Each structure stands twice: as C-alpha cells, then as structure tokens.
C-alpha cells in the first residue's frame, strides 16, 4: 500500500460563508434564503442563526494566521452571493468584494492556496422570491454572479468551484424542506436540480471567459455511497433508484451530457422533465478540471416491505421513493450526527469516479465528523474520535491513490466549529474549537494531528 501522499498533494480545510462569517447586515450584504429560514421560528435548532456565527468576517486575520500556524496548503471557502452582489442582480458590491480580496491576499501572503466556491447555499432572498432554483432564470443570474466574482478575484484565485452539493440545495431545500428555503414539492425539487445543473454549466462558462489562463473550474458533489442491504433484485433496484436521484442526476448531464433514462422513468409520475430545453445538456457538460467529492457516511437501502417500511408519507428528499425504498442505518460507530463511520464509502466513491470519468482528477473537498467536544479544565480540547475518523478516511484516500485514483487534494470539514445549518451550533465539526460566548478559537488535538500529517505527507503509524 502507498504510504506517502504525493508531494504536491493539496492539504486544506473547508468552510462556507453563512456558516462562519456573521456580519449578516454589514457592508451592504442583503439577506439570503438562509437568513430568512434561520429567522423563521422552528426551522433551526434553538432558533440559531448565522447573524454572528464565528464572526470570521471580523476575525479573518486571526483565522488565516491560525491556518498558517497549522501549515495548511489550501483553504476552501465560499463567497456569500448576497455580499458580493446584493439582491442577486446588478453590479458587484465593492465593499463585499473587498472582504474576499483581503482574505485572498492574506492567504497568498501566507503561502495558502485559495479555493473559492461560488455557491454554498446562500441564494439572495430576492431570487427566491422570484422563483428560486425551480425557476430557470436563477441559473442565468448565477452566471452573471460567477462572471462578476471571477473578474474581481480571478487574478489571485486560480481554483474555482461552481456549486457545493447541489443535491442538498435541490432536495433538502425544495423536497424535504429541512434546509432553506424550506419548500416541500417534489416537482420543484427536480426542477431545482436541473436549474442547478444549468447554473453549473453557465457558471463554468462564465468563469472560463473571465479567468485569466490557468484558472481551473471544479464542481463539488456529495455522491451517495449507496449500498443495497442484500443482493436481491428488489434491494438492488432500491439502490439504483437512490443512486440515480443522489448522484447520476448530476453526473449524468455534467459528465456525459444526458440525464439517465432510469431517472426519467422513475420520476415520470412527478414530472415530464419538459423544463429541460434542447441544448441544456451541452451547456451542462462543460469540461471540468477536477471533480470535488464530499463524503461523510454511507447510505444503506432496501426495497420497502412490511418489515422495512419506507419513511412515512410526507416531505422527503427522495421524490418517487416513498413506498418503494427503505433507508437503514449502516452498522458501526456513529458520530454526533448519528452518521456511521465507514471509510470504505470514500474509497468506493474515489474508485467509482476513477472508472467512470477516466482522466478527470478528483479532490476530496469535504470530509470530517462532528463530536461533542468540550474543553477540559485546562482549556485543551481533546477529540480522539475525530483523529480516528480522519486517520481512517485518509487511509482510504491513500488506498485509492495506490489503486490508481488521481486524487489531488483533501479538505477537512471544517476549519472551525460553525453554524451547522438546521442543527445550529449544536454540532461541532471543527478541528478548531470555537467558544460561542467569547468567540475564542482553540485548536483541538485533531488540528495538531492534522498539522503533522500534512507536514510529513504521511499518516502516523501509532
Ligand atoms: C455538507 C455541507 C457542509 C457541512 C457538512 C457537515 O453537506 O456541504 O456545509 O454542513 O455537510
């Protein structure tokens, strides 16, 4: 087995604007769907919002210094659309861009490669009011925004990601409604998925047009590592359905220029897909420089039966699966999210895309775990479970590298504890602990462990 990571491997950590920045009303920023959602009673745990979050907007220098002390080679962050282009239309906000410009300059001054994500779920409220992702127009607005961002920062940022996890935007945002904007409409969710695909294609073109030579374009997906509980044809069919809705709905058009036929059949009772216009697949299939993969835990499914009923009727992020597919907890240890720790899922995904998209480099754009970390009496935060999680998943990356996967980098989710969407501040994913009363940052044991791994390019043996 390969024991060393390649010398030019990109070692990083990831965050997202709404989860860390705070400064929700400053310097011309307007509300996003997440501001509206988190301020709606009952939507997030304890009514938590991103109004202050980790206050990264004001603590940017300290946070970049921390990254430099840990020796990070790269930092994946997202731009807040309503900060860069308030209301989602018209010219860019100079003050909004100034923040990202300063962040990028700080990173580069410390030798840290910036990796910018254009969309990590914070759609400007006005665009949701005009129809949101189920409306085609939103994809065009995204392309304009991509152009503005690339024009402003493209001379300093080489690596760009269009979307983060469009599955969550479409199916949690418009299907189950557990994420902003909280709509529950199967047809709208499928439309949203298509318009996110279209936004990716149009946005990728806008980036290419505005970036100087050498700019690189990625997309980040959260493909499901989905397994059938048994090898029966019924369970295998449940796996196929979920794979189509979770993964191939994006990789089909993005990598092959077509929606999978089985997806169209499975969802025929919900929509005839006439919102896909001639020419859209060609736009979506834009050559990528790398594919970003986010992975946390596997998904186990079976056919729904009397013994394994599908979750009750009602809003679901899996249109067309009610009454057909049952979801099961994978065996093994679980994190504070109740997600099973299973590094084989990451290995399997890396090998799958190595086979399905030969020649396309892969980047693990997110991987990590939440635990209930608490400072001990002397203020130190020991998180041995996170160290074990990271170790096991990096081992899976090494195994994939050894088996021929072209993995170029790994980004730990997350740099800091932060606003974990509907869970609010109750789930801590950071390698750096944040005390939400004082906003003090304390690197956990895992941060020191990770710093050593990236310095040596090796996993410790003990
Ligand atoms: C991913 C999101 C990220 C974070 C992690 C735990 O789905 O991209 O913002 O919430 O999960």
* Closest ligand 1 atom number to CA of residue 370: 6
Predicted pLDDT at 4: 93
pLDDT in tens, 375-402: 999 999 999 999 999 999 999 999 999 9
Q: Which of 178, 180, 411, 421 to mutate to test the pocket of ligand 1 (most atoms within 8 A of CB)?
A: 421
If you average pLDDT over residues 309-327, what whole number do you get? 89
- Spatial CA neighbour of 324 closest among 339, 338, 308: 308
Confidence of residue 309 (pLDDT cuts 50, 70, 90): confident
Tokens of 171: 């199916």
- Catalytic (active site) residue 395: no
pLDDT reading at 215 higher than 90: yes
Q: At what angle do helices 94-109 and 137-153 cross, to 10 degrees?
A: 50
Instruction: Provide mean pLDDT across the span 292-297.
Output: 98
Q: What is the pLDDT of residue 441?
A: 98
Question: Max alpha carbon distance in the chain (Å)?
Answer: 63
pLDDT value, residue 313 = 66
Q: Of the candidates 141, 122, 281, which has an alpha carbon nearest to the alpha carbon of residue 203?
A: 141
pLDDT at position 168, please? 98
CA atoms of 437 and 430, how far apart (whole Å): 16
At residue 303 the predicted structure's pLDDT band, cuts being 50, 70 and 90, is: very high
pLDDT class of 160 with cuts at 50, 70, 90:
very high
Catalytic residue among 26, 158, 356, 366: 366
Tens digits of per-residue pLDDT, 220-254?
Answer: 999 999 999 999 999 999 999 999 999 999 999 99
- Substitution candidate for ligand 1 out of 17, 171, 366, 419 with most atoms within 8 A of CB: 366
Rounded distance between C-alpha atoms, residue 361 and residue 458, angstroms: 21
208: CB partners within 8 A, 6+ apart: 215, 217, 286
Q: What is the mean pLDDT of the chain?
A: 97
Q: What is the 3-state secondary structure (H, E, C) of 306-329?
A: CCCCCCCCCCCCCCCCCCCEEEEC
pLDDT value at 83 more than 80: yes
Catalytic residue among 165, 234, 356, 385: 165
- Ligand 1, atom 9, lies closest to the CA of 16
- The yes-or-no verdict on residue 320 having pLDDT over 70 is yes
Confidence of residue 310 (pLDDT cuts 50, 70, 90): confident
Placement of tokens 């299939």 in the chain: 285
Distances, alpha carbon 226 to alpha carbons 148, 221, 240, 398, in Å? 38, 14, 9, 21
For 90-118, what is each residue's pLDDT tens digit?
999 999 999 999 999 999 999 999 999 99
pLDDT-derived band at 308 (thresholds 50, 70, 90) equals confident
Say yes or no: CB of residue 420 within 6 Å of ligand 1: yes
105 a catalytic residue: no
H-type helices in 158-260, by residue range? 166-167, 186-210, 233-243, 249-251
Mean per-residue pLDDT, 411-435: 98
Asked whether the bond before 414 is cis by omega within 30 degrees of 0, the reply is yes
- Pairwise CA distance, residues 376 & 355, whole Å: 46
Whether the CB of 171 sits within 6 Å of ligand 1: no
Question: What pLDDT, on the 0 to 100 scale, is given for residue 2?
Answer: 58
Distance CA 338, CA 297 (A): 10
Distance 14 CA to ligand 1 centre (A): 10
CA distance 144 to 137: 11
Residue 275, pLDDT > 90, answer yes
Q: Which residues contact 231 (CB under 8 A, 6 or more apart)?
A: none
Which atom of ligand 1 is least distant from the CA of 420?
10
Element (H, E) at 213: none
- What is the average pLDDT across 24-45? 98
This model's pTM is above 0.85: yes
Ligand 1 in contact with 373 (CB < 6 A)? no
Mean pLDDT of 321-335: 96
Confidence of residue 443 (pLDDT cuts 50, 70, 90): very high
Enumerate the domain spans of the chain: 10-225+248-256+269-296+335-456
Ligand 1 close to Cβ of residue 413 (< 6 A) = yes
pLDDT of 436 reads 98
Q: Which atom of ligand 1 is nearest to the CA of 220?
A: 8
- C-alpha 19 – ligand 1 centre gap (Å): 9
Cβ atoms of 193 and 166 closer than 8 Å: yes
From CA 428, how far away is CA 431, in angstroms rounded? Answer: 9
Do you find a cis peptide bond into 181, omega within 30 degrees of 0? Answer: yes
Ligand 1 pocket member 164 (CB < 6 A): yes
Instruction: State residue 71's pLDDT score.
Output: 98
List pLDDT tens digits, range 184-204.
999 999 999 999 999 999 999
Coil, helix or strand at residue 364: strand
In short, whether 421's Cβ falls inside 6 Å of ligand 1 is yes
Answer whether CATH 3.90.600.10 is correct for domain 10-225+248-256+269-296+335-456: no
- Residue 108: what pLDDT? 98
Any ligand 1 atom below 6 A from CB of 353: no
3-state secondary structure of 344: helix
Query: Is the pLDDT confidence value at 127 over 80?
Result: yes
**Integer Cα distance of 274 and 307 in angstroms:** 37
Which of 245-250's residues contact partners 24+ apart within 8 Å by CB, and which partners? 245/171, 245/318, 245/319, 245/320, 245/321, 246/167, 246/222, 246/299, 247/221, 247/223, 249/167, 249/193, 249/197, 250/166, 250/167, 250/193, 250/197, 250/219, 250/221, 250/223
Question: Mutate which of 420, 423, 424, 427 to test ligand 1's pocket (most atoms within 8 Å of Cβ)?
Answer: 420
């Amino acid at each position: 087995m390969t024991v060393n990571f390649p010398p030019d491997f990109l070692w990083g950590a990831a965050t997202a604007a709404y989860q860390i920045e705070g400064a929700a009303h400053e310097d011309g920023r307007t509300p996003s769907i997440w501001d509206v959602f988190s301020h709606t009673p009952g939507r997030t745990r304890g009514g938590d919002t991103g109004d202050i979050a980790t206050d990264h907007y004001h603590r940017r220098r300290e946070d970049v210094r921390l990254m430099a002390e840990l020796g990070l080679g790269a930092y994946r962050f997202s731009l807040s659309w309503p900060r860069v282009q308030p209301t989602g239309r018209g010219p860019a906000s100079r003050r909004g861009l100034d923040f990202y410009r300063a962040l990028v300059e700080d990173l580069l001054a410390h030798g840290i490669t910036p990796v910018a994500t254009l969309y990590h779920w914070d759609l400007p409220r006005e665009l949701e009011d005009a129809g949101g992702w189920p409306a085609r127009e939103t994809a065009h607005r995204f392309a304009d925004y991509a152009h503005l961002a690339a024009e402003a920062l493209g001379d300093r940022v080489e690596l760009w990601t269009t979307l983060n996890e469009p599955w969550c935007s479409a199916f949690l945002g418009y299907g189950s409604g557990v994420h902003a904007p909280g709509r529950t409409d199967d047809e709208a969710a499928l439309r949203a998925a298509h318009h996110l695909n279209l936004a990716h294609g149009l946005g990728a073109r806008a980036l290419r047009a505005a970036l100087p030579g050498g700019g690189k374009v990625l997309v980040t997906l959260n493909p499901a590592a989905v397994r059938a509980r048994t090898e029966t044809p019924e369970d295998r069919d449940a796996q196929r359905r979920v794979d189509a809705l979770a993964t191939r709905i994006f990789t089909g058009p993005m990598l092959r220029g077509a929606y999978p036929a089985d997806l169209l059949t499975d969802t025929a009772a919900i929509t005839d897909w006439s919102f896909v216009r001639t020419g859209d697949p060609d736009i979506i299939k834009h050559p990528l420089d790398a594919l970003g993969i986010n992975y946390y835990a596997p998904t186990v499914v079976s056919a729904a039966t009397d013994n394994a009923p599908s979750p009750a009727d009602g809003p679901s992020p899996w249109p067309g699966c009610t009454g057909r597919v049952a979801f099961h907890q994978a065996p093994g240890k679980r994190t504070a999210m109740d997600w099973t720790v299973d590094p084989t899922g990451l290995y399997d995904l890396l090998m799958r895309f190595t086979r399905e998209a030969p020649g396309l480099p892969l980047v693990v754009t997110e991987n990590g775990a939440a635990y209930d970390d608490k400072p001990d009496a002397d203020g130190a935060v020991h998180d041995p479970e996170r160290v074990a999680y990271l170790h096991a998943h990096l081992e899976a990356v090494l195994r994939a590298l050894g088996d021929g996967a072209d993995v170029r980098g790994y980004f730990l989710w997350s740099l800091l504890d932060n606003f974990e969407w509907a869970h609010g501040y109750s789930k801590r994913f950071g390698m750096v602990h944040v005390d939400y009363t004082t906003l003090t940052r304390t690197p956990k044991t895992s941060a020191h462990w990770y710093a050593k791994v990236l310095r040596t390019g090796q996993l410790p043996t003990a």
